[in-house]
Structure 1
Amino acid sequence: MSGNSNCTVYIGNLDERVTDRVLYDILIQAGLVVDLHIPKDKETDKPKGFAFAEYETEEVADYAVKLFSGLVTLYNRTLKFAVRS
């Protein structure tokens, strides 16, 4: 991540089967995604269940949180969205 936390959205409650590509295809609907990172456990190499998406601007990040909150469900899990602070 490049470091502007006001442009970064936290995505929680991710199933381990969610790929970068699937998540990106959803997130791009709100605006330009500059970076996307799904952290993995160092020992098991499995996703930790959350991700960070950096958008081009703060406004787009805020819009993404409002747009997606409570509406995106993948593998029977409703994703949680918040602007990283």
Structure 2
Amino acid sequence: MNADPTGRTGSTSASDGHGRMERLLSSPEVTRILRAPNPAVMAAVGRDGSPVTVATWYLWDGGPVLLNLDAGRARLRHLRADPRVS
């Protein structure tokens, strides 16, 4: 394991292409963040072909990511019409 500039272990650093160094998260840190209740931004394709973004909650416990897609929400209609999502 490499120590980052703060002396913590388990992380490495990488250049962002602009001469700055960014701290990369370790696998346990990524897992801890993804398992916490965090909002996410989901992008779908609208009826006119433009991107539609919306904040939503997700749940992840090591398997597939589950998104809050209540039946009455427009985001679900967009996905049924065009399943591309980011």
TM-score of the pair, normalised by structure 1: 0.23
| Higher normalized helix content (fraction of residues) | 1
* Higher relative contact order (CA closer than 8 Å, sequence separation 6+): 1
TM-score of the pair, normalised by structure 2: 0.23
